[in-house]
Amino acid sequence: MSAPKKVVLAYSGGLDTSIILKWLQTEYGCEVVTFTADLGQGEELDPARQKAELLGIKPENIFIEDLREEFVRDFVFPMFRANAVYEGLYLLGTSIARPLISQRLIEIAEATGADAVAHGATGKGNDQVRFELSAYALNPEIKVIAPWREWDLTSRTKLLEFAEAHQIPIAKDKRGEAPFSVDANLLHTSSEGKVLEDPAVEAPEYVYQRTDHPENAPDSPEYIEIGFEKGDAVSINGEAMSPATILTQLNEYGRKHGIGRLDFVENRFVGMKSRGIYETPGGDILLEAHRGIEQITLDSGAGHLKDSIMPRYAELIYNGFWFSPEREMLQALIDKSQEHVTGTVRLKLYKGSARTVGRWSPNSLYSEAHVTFEEDAGAYDQTDAAGFIQLNALRLKLIAQRNKRVSGK
Amino acid sequence: MSAPKKVVLAYSGGLDTSIILKWLQTEYGCEVVTFTADLGQGEELDPARQKAELLGIKPENIFIEDLREEFVRDFVFPMFRANAVYEGLYLLGTSIARPLISQRLIEIAEATGADAVAHGATGKGNDQVRFELSAYALNPEIKVIAPWREWDLTSRTKLLEFAEAHQIPIAKDKRGEAPFSVDANLLHTSSEGKVLEDPAVEAPEYVYQRTDHPENAPDSPEYIEIGFEKGDAVSINGEAMSPATILTQLNEYGRKHGIGRLDFVENRFVGMKSRGIYETPGGDILLEAHRGIEQITLDSGAGHLKDSIMPRYAELIYNGFWFSPEREMLQALIDKSQEHVTGTVRLKLYKGSARTVGRWSPNSLYSEAHVTFEEDAGAYDQTDAAGFIQLNALRLKLIAQRNKRVSGK
Amino acid sequence: MSAPKKVVLAYSGGLDTSIILKWLQTEYGCEVVTFTADLGQGEELDPARQKAELLGIKPENIFIEDLREEFVRDFVFPMFRANAVYEGLYLLGTSIARPLISQRLIEIAEATGADAVAHGATGKGNDQVRFELSAYALNPEIKVIAPWREWDLTSRTKLLEFAEAHQIPIAKDKRGEAPFSVDANLLHTSSEGKVLEDPAVEAPEYVYQRTDHPENAPDSPEYIEIGFEKGDAVSINGEAMSPATILTQLNEYGRKHGIGRLDFVENRFVGMKSRGIYETPGGDILLEAHRGIEQITLDSGAGHLKDSIMPRYAELIYNGFWFSPEREMLQALIDKSQEHVTGTVRLKLYKGSARTVGRWSPNSLYSEAHVTFEEDAGAYDQTDAAGFIQLNALRLKLIAQRNKRVSGK
Amino acid sequence: MSAPKKVVLAYSGGLDTSIILKWLQTEYGCEVVTFTADLGQGEELDPARQKAELLGIKPENIFIEDLREEFVRDFVFPMFRANAVYEGLYLLGTSIARPLISQRLIEIAEATGADAVAHGATGKGNDQVRFELSAYALNPEIKVIAPWREWDLTSRTKLLEFAEAHQIPIAKDKRGEAPFSVDANLLHTSSEGKVLEDPAVEAPEYVYQRTDHPENAPDSPEYIEIGFEKGDAVSINGEAMSPATILTQLNEYGRKHGIGRLDFVENRFVGMKSRGIYETPGGDILLEAHRGIEQITLDSGAGHLKDSIMPRYAELIYNGFWFSPEREMLQALIDKSQEHVTGTVRLKLYKGSARTVGRWSPNSLYSEAHVTFEEDAGAYDQTDAAGFIQLNALRLKLIAQRNKRVSGK
């Protein structure tokens, strides 16, 4: 790879990406463009601009964008249509944000004539894979710089020395090492590393930043109603809202009731296991609600097919293949299934859990006429069941006869 | 089908199966053998014996058996090795009990020279299918009698008239109709019908019989530790127990903390949707714990394969195909995966939920040496990730180049 | 089911459906509408009109249609996009024709105000299921009459007596029983029953009606080139043609070279095994060619996903679920994959087989620059493979270390 | 990686691996152990011994083994139980040989105290991955040396210079470059590269080394009968034979009749497409025969499950994951299915194709009593089909009613 001339850096404004910024300038002598996105991580973006300027970035090279609506509408919601969970439990909160960041990095690179992008993910994790697969899928000629895999700043001390040597301001609380590492966006907050590295030991309460302790949650349940159209949430308690507003509000409900905590050991794409604490307050509620509305609007053929391909879909997103033909093919299948997933779900929120307690829809496939224990006025002929069972049993009978014949019994 | 001469009836001792007993005698003039099993449904079995005798069944034709250990060891535990859930949420508590009952019906039929078996499931539900597929798979020549599909006792009034006409005792509380229908065993209690038929309306609290209301659960959490060997639970808090004892104890923990409630609309195999309230107190805890121990003992290849076939496995059990070649093939796959699923999980029980907070195992695949944020002494070479990403990206780059070329951009 | 008033009958003009026609009139006293379609079965349609008139059908109730283009364009081609084969070998020639016939039956019923449709499939086969599932999916209120499951004309003798009693003309060669039963359309000819019922015995040569004996095929190979656009064949040897024309021509190539014969034992949806002789001359060539063009235009992610869902897709079509949400979902996935499946395949036809020997495409993903054994000018960095392998191996190493630790070796 | 001290080299005796041998000695100054296996590639092994001695390998460090029986019995046959084909067409002839070679390399390393193994696969192909994943899975501490990824002998000229400088004999026909590259074993011969690199151009006839041209094959067909037990071939024409003998004989039948040629563009695991010519004469016959015997001995539940997981199983073998938990889990599933796959298949071999024309088995599930067009003496009740269809249609009707209601039509 020839040396980059102009690099778009995914820049948070924090110490680590500021060091990267400076390192790119000094190591490659290249022009740096910063890109800072509001994905709902809950941090001010203004300081990032000031800091970038302080580090010598030209104003026209500073990109700061609020991507919350795009994030929820084009990434989170399509994923939730699939009820995607990785390894049975993880709602993919970090995974789903990476493709959008890469997409904007590439777009900004094209707009500014940059020949490279850079990110602050380490060489051990999944995020480097997600950033880079997305970048290459969108621009096969782009250079990707991953400083953590390249440089020799391999200890906290060296990083701080580099920062000091290059006049990078260091906040007081960044002098020591953080007791764990955090990633956050509108969908979730993840924490991992350091105090969390022994999976046998319960995570300390101070790790949880996004949800109140269920024990401190209100002592009485709260009910909410989420409206859906074609598989996407469109309202809360009857009030129509934008995608990001809905997720923001659900986060607030979840936070209050201690919903969405997960202590999890997962398999990284790069081959090792890691332990994380995830908080997905709004996401947990949304998943439960989406399943609730599908219960009455999807038939078994559609639902079972979705269930059977979901693990693969989730794995693709986890591994960073959002921009791949197979993810798009699966999305086509999933979206096709959601045409009638419209209606309302009533949920009960209480002490750490969100449970569906009612659901209704103009598109409902639930037929009280068929299922009733009462007289059904001919909707269903019970004698049909006899033939149904006989033909389903036929092959099993033939097997049993064969086995008897073969065993001579 | 020629008329049966001797029928083994799955007999609960309740009013409905007593009416069936009598109806079989009068309709077919056949000898009736009763089979009553303790699967942990929480009812005394002695009354069933007395009632059978009262209805004229010969003592040698009355079979009463405690199958709890067999049920958990040979059916529940193998199923939990798969983390089986139907349609994302249902733990298959009713489905998994049917094959065992059918198996014993067939064995008793063979032992007593009976040519038929009979059950009390209706023509609208899944249980008729499960009973009969299992029966035919085990004995392809057996006759199966399903009175609810045959007789004309199609209203409560007619049933009571028949009972009175045949001196069948009717408990006072059975005069009126039950507000919903219940099935129970050691794994779960399900309730459906009548007051539950509108899926938009929250189920009344009195429907829940197996779990305390989470709001009434203890205000402080309780911790327990479940030990596993080769995928099966073998101890609680360090004390070794038999399978049924473990499930019984977990049920008690679950009951106390309000764990395992589910309000669910499902797709029946016979083609309609139905709404049920399920309570699976011990099962919910066990599933969470099993996932917890798999997190550190299964690698991603094994775990993802299991996840991808699970929906099909669960569907087979739901639909009644326990005794089918494909269920046995999937079981072989699942059991193979469990050889190293040994260790201990620590769970926190609180107000309706059971969450894994720690897990450890002599067979753990979790490597702190690899995952650590600290210096890893060469366990992992971060530059490997660059090559890993490049080759994973290669096809995506080729696609992007092709698309550029084709679109002429 | 109340008695039908007006019935649309799938009418071939042959003896059996003529008897059905008369039986419907006499049994139900209902008005009969006949529908005869040209799906490429190679029979004149005019006699069907004359015979229907002879049997008293009003001219406005006689529908005769050439559906060959619709058949190939809307059913055969979409299915071939999936490379669908049932149980590894069968190209679904009969299965794929049924939904179209049902669709037209329902449309004609709606146009003529009929309340029922009728078909001539027996109660043992798959076709009854396919006809009826399609009919019910398109019109849930329609009545379906399947005379073979209802009447008592259970022997050849009774059928002939009925025909004679009702002045139905009987061709001389229909007096005796046919030595096997045949179904044909533009995609295939299937033969089964009677002389074919012992699967151990080779089918006599006279069963094959659609293909020349490979031993009689030309002694020198013939080359053809098939052009594709978005997954569908659009030309042969550079000449653009309509879908039905292409399949007709490929059939002629296949017939001449003895291509597409299959002796097969399959699992029917109704639970039994049956043995059939299938001839799919053009279909075999088309499948080979479609695979050939996909080889260079689909990447592995898309191709492997298609391969993994294909068996389910084929099973759905075989079982009669063309008009089901899950088939439509899978079709959306498949169609999405075909956007770049454009190009040309060169095939060699010889003595029973069609083999791809060359393929090229403006959309090709094949990169000689990458794969070459020669110097590749930096297209591919071989050292990337080391990192790729290391990270793919990481979990396997962790397993091996665990196993060593556990076994104490 | 520290420098290896003693290396076991997969040594063919040819020029390339002889250069590697010398390079290992000179580059690392390490002791070299050679391992040469007869996997049926059709080359003498004695010259390999002589050449190794000539290059200074100590006699106790020269391992030459006939692994043909082990290869077929423990690798080829288990794979054929799955009917494994990669990307629809490739029988995995190269892929399946690699794990066995790696296994012996590791065993010899342990027996001789070697700390490394080496292979002659390049950095662009799949074989490096297969060799190394297998090696690491069997010994996580082993070092693997892949000279083609390390050295600077990047042109034919440099290689020959190195050979001359180190007194490595060069056969006259190795002076020039081969027009394509070949790999062979008892299952297949593959050819790729150079003259085959343009996938649009038909492969020249001289590439085919293992099969006669179908046009030169006998003008009359030949019939053979293959006997199976539990899924494995055990006899030809009634004569019991060992696994390797059976495959050897089938290869001879295939060679003679021009069977098993494939011109194929595949997706390599490392991300690029490549074009190969494969000849699998015996394998093609065996696959056809195995499918034939499964047709009557596997029921649809077992068969369809096998079909649905086959692509994943084949991909695992192709990608080099033979020694992985997920391959072993799938093998457990597949082997479970084969318990009754016993019987005989009759095949017709003619001009490039092998077709099943008859099959019989003591374990057959084919029931002429059920399928017959004749009177079936009550084996099957056609009215059962009505109920079967009604309940399968129920959900489709509910969907249609919903859609009508929603669309207001």
Does residue D157 belong to the interface with chain C, where contact is any CB pair within 8 Å? no
Alpha-helical regions (H) of A147-280: 147-150, 156-165, 243-257
- Give CA separation, B238 vs A366, B241, B291, B344, B345, in Å: 46, 9, 19, 9, 11
Task: List residues of A with catalytic annotation.
Answer: 16, 98, 127, 181
Structure token pair of residue B162: 């028949």
Q: A228-242, A247-261, C142-156, D56-70: which range is least confident on average?
A: C142-156
**Distance of alpha carbon A205 from its chain centroid, rounded?**
23
Residue in A270, A305, A395 nearest the CB of C329: A305
3-state class (DSSP) for residue B2: coil
Q: What is the spatial distance between Cα B115 and Cα B32, in angstroms, rounded to a whole number?
A: 11
Structure token pair of residue A305: 């097919």
Q: What is the spatial distance between Cα A302 and Cα C316, in angstroms, rounded to a whole number?
A: 12
Residues 89-118 of A with CB under 8 A from B: 89
D396 and C132: CB-CB below 8 Å? no
**Predicted local confidence at residue C154, as pLDDT:** 84
What's the residue count for chain D?
409
- Give CA separation, D334 vs B70, B310, D182, in Å: 27, 17, 31
What's the residue count for chain B?
409
* Beta carbons of C46 and C19 less than 8 angstroms apart: no
Does residue D194 belong to the interface with chain C, where contact is any CB pair within 8 Å? yes
pLDDT average, residue stretch D254-260 = 96
> Look-up: residue for tokens 């693997």?
D144
Q: What is the DSSP letter of B214?
A: G
Residue in A199, A357, A371 nearest the CB of B272: A371
Q: C48 — phi, psi (to 5°)?
A: -65, -40
Residue in D324, D393, D398 nearest the CB of B301: D324
Neighbouring CB atoms inside 10 A of D172's CB total: 6
Q: How many CA atoms lie within 13 A of B361 on its CB side?
A: 31
- Annotated active-site residue C395? The verdict is no
Q: Is the pLDDT of residue B48 over 70?
A: yes
Q: What is the spatial distance between Cα A339 and Cα A81, in angstroms, rounded to a whole number?
A: 11
B124 and A388: CB-CB below 8 Å? no
Instruction: Establish, for the pair of chains B and D, how many residue pairs have beta carbons separated by less than 8 Å.
Output: 79
Does residue A390 belong to the interface with chain D, where contact is any CB pair within 8 Å? yes
**Predicted local confidence at residue C1, as pLDDT:** 66
What are the tens digits of pLDDT across the range D70-121?
Answer: 999 999 999 999 999 999 999 999 999 999 999 999 999 999 999 999 999 9
pLDDT average, residue stretch A69-92 = 98
Q: Is the pLDDT of residue B397 over 70?
A: yes
User: C277: which strand partners?
Assistant: C191, C263
Interface test with C, best of B294, B342, B399 (most C CBs within 10 A): B399
What's the residue count for chain A?
409
Q: B4 — phi, psi (to 5°)?
A: -75, 150
C197 and D368: CB-CB below 8 Å? yes
Structure token pair of residue C113: 């105000």
| pLDDT values of chain C reduced to their tens digit, one per residue, 409 residues | 689 999 999 999 999 999 999 999 999 999 999 999 999 999 888 899 999 999 999 999 999 999 999 999 999 999 999 999 999 999 999 999 999 999 999 999 999 999 999 999 999 999 999 999 999 999 999 999 999 999 999 888 899 999 999 999 888 777 777 888 999 999 999 999 889 999 999 999 999 999 999 888 999 999 999 999 999 999 999 999 999 999 999 999 999 999 999 999 999 999 999 999 999 999 999 999 999 999 999 999 999 999 999 999 999 999 999 999 999 999 999 999 999 999 999 999 999 999 999 999 999 999 988 887 777 777 888 999 999 999 999 999 999 999 999 987 6
Does residue A324 belong to the interface with chain C, where contact is any CB pair within 8 Å? yes
B50-65 in b/e form (b: 16+ CB < 10 A) is: ebbeebebeeebbbbe
**Predicted local confidence at residue B1, as pLDDT:** 66
CA nearest C382 in B: which residue? B387
C29-46 in b/e form (b: 16+ CB < 10 A) is: ebbbbbbbbbbbbeeeee
**Predicted local confidence at residue A374, as pLDDT:** 72
Q: What is the DSSP letter of A90?
A: B
CA nearest A268 in C: which residue? C395
Does residue A127 belong to the interface with chain B, where contact is any CB pair within 8 Å? no
What are the tens digits of pLDDT across the range A339-372?
Answer: 999 999 999 999 999 999 999 999 999 998 888 7
Q: A307-311, B230-234, B235-239, C371-375: which range is least confident on average?
A: C371-375
User: Does D26 show up as a binding residue in the annotation?
Assistant: no
How buried is C368 (Cβ within 10 angstroms: 0-12 exposed, 13-18 middle, 19+ buried)?
A: middle
Q: Which of D68, D98, D104, D261 is catalytic?
A: D98
Distance to chain B for C224, nearest Cα, Å:
26
Strands of C116-118's sheet in order across: C62-66, C31-38, C6-10, C116-118, C143-145
Q: Is the pLDDT of residue A409 over 70?
A: no
Residues 3-42 of A with CB under 8 A from B: none
- Annotated active-site residue B181? The verdict is yes
**Predicted local confidence at residue A172, as pLDDT:** 79
Strands of D62-66's sheet in order across: D62-66, D31-38, D6-10, D116-118, D143-145
| Strand spans (E) along D39-79 | 62-66
B337 and D329: CB-CB below 8 Å? yes
C388 and B386: CB-CB below 8 Å? no
Q: What is the spatial distance between Cα D366 and Cα D351, in angstroms, rounded to a whole number?
A: 30
Q: What is the spatial distance between Cα B161 and Cα D131, in angstroms, rounded to a whole number?
A: 77
All residues of chain C having their beta carbon less than 8 Å from the beta carbon of residue D384 are 123
Distance to chain B for A276, nearest Cα, Å:
11
- Annotated active-site residue C66? The verdict is no
* Beta carbons of D75 and D103 less than 8 angstroms apart: no
All residues of chain C having their beta carbon less than 8 Å from the beta carbon of residue D215 are 219-221, 350
Q: What is the spatial distance between Cα D180 and Cα B177, in angstroms, rounded to a whole number?
A: 82
**Distance of alpha carbon C251 from its chain centroid, rounded?**
14
Residue in C298, C312, C328 nearest the CB of A336: C328
**Complex prediction ipTM:** 0.96
A365 and D340: CB-CB below 8 Å? no
What are the tens digits of pLDDT across the range A267-288?
Answer: 999 999 999 999 999 999 999 9
One-letter identity of residue A157: T
**Predicted local confidence at residue D408, as pLDDT:** 77
Residue in B350, B375, B397 nearest the CB of A214: B350
Q: Which of C68, C81, C104, C127 is catalytic?
A: C127
CA proximity to B212, closest of B262, B281, B278: B281
Q: Is the pLDDT of residue D1 over 70?
A: no
What are the tens digits of pLDDT across the range B175-218?
Answer: 777 888 999 999 999 999 889 999 999 999 999 999 999 888 99
Q: Which of C73, C115, C181, C353 is catalytic?
A: C181
**Distance of alpha carbon C139 from its chain centroid, rounded?**
23
Does residue C193 belong to the interface with chain D, where contact is any CB pair within 8 Å? yes
CA-based R_g, chain A, Å: 26
Q: What is the spatial distance between Cα B203 and Cα B264, in angstroms, rounded to a whole number?
A: 10
Domains along the sequence of chain C with CATH: 6-68+94-177 (3.40.50.620), 182-298+340-360 (3.90.1260.10)
CA proximity to B313, closest of B83, B60, B136, B1: B83
All residues of chain C having their beta carbon less than 8 Å from the beta carbon of residue B365 are 395, 398-399, 402
Q: Is the pLDDT of residue A295 over 70?
A: yes
3-state class (DSSP) for residue A192: strand
For residue B20, what are the contacts with CB-CB under 8 A and spacing of at least 6?
A: B9, B118, B120, B147
A394 and D370: CB-CB below 8 Å? yes
- Annotated active-site residue D198? The verdict is no
3-state class (DSSP) for residue D358: strand
Q: What is the spatial distance between Cα D20 and Cα B207, in angstroms, rounded to a whole number?
A: 76
Here the contacts of C140-144 (C-beta below 8 Å, separation 24 or greater) are C140/D396, C140/D397, C140/D398, C140/D400, C140/D401, C140/D404, C142/C106, C142/C109, C142/C115, C142/C116, C142/C117, C143/C1, C143/C4, C143/C115, C143/C116, C143/C117, C144/C116, C144/C117, C144/C118, C144/C119
Q: C117 — phi, psi (to 5°)?
A: -130, 160
Distance to chain B for A175, nearest Cα, Å:
16
C272 and A324: CB-CB below 8 Å? no
For residue D183, what are the contacts with CB-CB under 8 A and spacing of at least 6?
A: D94, D127, D189, D190
Q: What is the spatial distance between Cα B140 and Cα B134, in angstroms, rounded to a whole number?
A: 10
Q: D104 — phi, psi (to 5°)?
A: -70, -35
CA nearest C299 in A: which residue? A325
Q: Which of B73, B74, B115, B181 is catalytic?
A: B181
Q: Is the pLDDT of residue B407 over 90?
A: no
State what percent of residues in chain A have pLDDT above 90: 88
| Strand spans (E) along D250-374 | 261-267, 273-279, 343-350, 353-360
Residue in A301, A325, A337 nearest the CB of C299: A325
Q: pTM to 2 decimals?
A: 0.97
All residues of chain A having their beta carbon less than 8 Å from the beta carbon of residue B194 are 373
**Predicted local confidence at residue B68, as pLDDT:** 98
**Predicted local confidence at residue B214, as pLDDT:** 87
Q: Is the pLDDT of residue B174 over 80?
A: no
Q: What is the spatial distance between Cα C160 and Cα C157, in angstroms, rounded to a whole number?
A: 5
Backbone conformation region of residue A116, classed left if phi is above 0, alpha if psi is from -120 to 50, else beta: beta
A392 and D388: CB-CB below 8 Å? yes
User: B235: which strand partners?
Assistant: B227, B240
What are the tens digits of pLDDT across the range B81-140?
Answer: 999 999 999 999 999 999 999 999 999 999 999 999 999 999 999 999 999 999 999 999
What are the tens digits of pLDDT across the range B261-297?
Answer: 999 999 999 999 999 999 999 999 999 999 999 999 9
Interface test with C, best of B272, B308, B340, B388 (most C CBs within 10 A): B388
Structure token pair of residue C360: 């090229």
Type and span of the H or E element at C280: none
pLDDT average, residue stretch A51-69 = 97
DSSP track, B100-141: HHHHHHHHHHHHHT-SEEE----TTSSHHHHHHHHHHHH-TT
Q: What is the spatial distance between Cα D283 and Cα D76, in angstroms, rounded to a whole number?
A: 9
- Alpha-carbon torsion (A337, A343, A344, A345), positive or negative: negative
Q: What is the spatial distance between Cα C162 and Cα C123, in angstroms, rounded to a whole number?
A: 20
